[in-house]
């Protein structure tokens, strides 16, 4: 029996790794699978673990107020050493582009395990955008033994970097697995939050906003908030719902510029199931999140991306998302244009999701079984 250790630390990783954990648990005759969380994000991570009913075998609980990348990277590597020595996994699975991903891939390499990268091959080739995620994923890409790419373009990126084609599998993105498995559950078992906000929403047009990227901190967020203010003032019947990230560099400009607007609802970060419901209920999504760029097209929701570059160009090429950066005028123009141009809106809503069919985890397990 082979031993798997699945490592993640943030809410987005947890969402995307949860269906893989659940799928491996169905194959307990072939694999002993354990989960390690670094808790790079604590509260937001725990919400996802609860929803998917996953109890970590190892919890490093590393989140500290004001933590920096130096301390976090070093602490993850050092803290994983005894776990890797005790469990001695054959395969270690990391996801995407977080600091947990980069540091865990280094630690797993030191331990001698085969390292498997879920959501491999995404690139902007600009090391500062997104920061530090672009370098995190490139470092993981050099270390990992097996690369599970969500799209053929991601595979092509890896091939250009001289990664052996036999070690790459195009799977689609596991976030679609998670989304499709969760939508029905959310509709059948609505939370108290969903029941309450449904009363507030009534039949109003809803724009859902998220924003947290480091490269947008400072002037970028000032411009984003200025744009949201203009969009809100354009139509007071329109409702903007913004679950505000806990980072003080996000909280400060958002609260200062948007707090007193009657049709802007600033709320705490949402549990995964509540966020899915809001995505499904929204007319349009404005975000700098990578995961939302992948999820929203499966729900037929157009997305405006608050970034100048994206490591997910498939969505741009497919027409399901539009890059608007932090340009205040462009954010306002594209939002109001989409909301007023029914033909353009309907076309974006109907486009095919380039990120898969919800069967990524099954493909990954079949590949590992055949090794």
Q: What is the pLDDT of residues 210-247, one digit of tens each?
A: 998 888 888 999 999 999 999 999 999 999 999 998 88
CB 137 within 8 A of CB 96: yes
Residue 202 confidence (pLDDT) above 90: no
Average pLDDT, the chain: 94
Residue 41 confidence (pLDDT) above 80: no
Annotated active-site residue 97? The verdict is yes
Given the residues 123, 213, 214, 307, the one annotated as active site: 214
pTM for this predicted structure: 0.83
Annotated active-site residue 43? The verdict is no
Sheet with 264-267: list strands edge to edge.
264-267, 239-243, 206-209, 284-287, 303-305, 321-323
Considering the domain 184-350 in this protein, what is its CATH number? 3.40.50.2000
Annotated active-site residue 156? The verdict is no
Residue 319: the pLDDT is 93
The structural domains of the chain, with segments of one domain joined by +, span 2-173+356-370, 184-350
Annotated active-site residue 245? The verdict is yes
Annotated active-site residue 217? The verdict is no
59 or 312, greater pLDDT? 59
Query: Is 184-350 the same fold as 2-173+356-370?
Result: yes
Given the residues 13, 42, 95, 119, the one annotated as active site: 119
Residues 6+ apart with CB under 8 A from 285: 207, 208, 209, 210, 279, 292, 296, 301, 302, 303, 304
Our measurement of the distance from residue 119's CA atom to the centroid of its chain's CA atoms, rounded to an integer in Å, reads: 11
Given the residues 13, 133, 274, 288, the one annotated as active site: 133
Q: Which CATH number fits domain 2-173+356-370: 3.40.50.2000, 3.10.350.10, 3.40.710.10, 3.10.20.600?
A: 3.40.50.2000
Given the residues 11, 223, 238, 245, the one annotated as active site: 245
Residue-wise pLDDT tens digits, 156-167: 999 999 999 999
Given the residues 97, 294, 314, 334, the one annotated as active site: 97
């Amino acid at each position: 029996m082979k031993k798997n250790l699945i490592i993640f630390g943030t809410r987005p990783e947890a969402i995307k790794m949860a269906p893989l954990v659940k799928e491996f648990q169905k194959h307990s005759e072939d694999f002993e699978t354990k989960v390690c969380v670094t808790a790079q994000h604590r509260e937001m991570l725990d919400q996802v673990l609860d929803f998917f009913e996953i109890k970590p075998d190892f919890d490093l609980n590393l989140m500290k107020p004001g933590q920096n990348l130096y301390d976090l990277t070093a602490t993850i590597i050092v803290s994983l050493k005894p776990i890797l020595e005790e469990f001695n996994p054959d395969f270690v699975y990391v996801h995407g582009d977080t600091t947990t991903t980069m540091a865990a891939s280094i630690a797993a390499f030191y331990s001698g395990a085969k390292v498997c990268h879920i959501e491999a091959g995404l690139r902007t080739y600009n090391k500062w955008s997104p920061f530090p995620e672009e370098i995190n994923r490139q470092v993981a890409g050099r270390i990992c033994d097996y690369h599970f790419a969500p799209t053929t373009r991601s595979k092509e990126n890896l091939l250009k970097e001289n990664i052996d084609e036999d070690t790459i599998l195009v799977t689609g993105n596991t976030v679609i697995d998670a989304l499709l498995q969760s939508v029905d559950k959310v509709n059948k078992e609505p939370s108290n939050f969903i029941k309450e906000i449904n009363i507030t929403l009534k039949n109003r047009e809803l724009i859902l906003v998220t924003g947290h990227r480091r490269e947008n901190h400072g002037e970028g967020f000032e411009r984003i908030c200025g744009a949201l203010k203009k969009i809100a003032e354009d139509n007071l019947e329109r409702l903007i719902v913004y679950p505000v990230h806990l980072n003080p560099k996000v909280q400060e400009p958002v609260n200062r510029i948007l707090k007193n607007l009657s049709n802007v609802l600033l709320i705490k970060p949402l549990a995964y199931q509540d966020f899915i419901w809001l995505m499904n209920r929204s007319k349009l999504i404005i975000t700098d999140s990578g995961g939302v760029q992948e999820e929203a097209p499966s729900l037929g929701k157009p997305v405006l991306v608050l970034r100048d570059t994206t490591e997910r160009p498939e969505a741009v090429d497919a027409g399901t998302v539009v890059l608007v950066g932090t340009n205040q005028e462009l954010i306002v123009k594209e939002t109001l244009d989409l909301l007023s141009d029914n033909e353009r809106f309907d076309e974006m809503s109907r486009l095919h999701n380039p990120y898969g069919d919800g069967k990524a985890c099954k493909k990954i397990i079949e590949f590992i079984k055949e090794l």
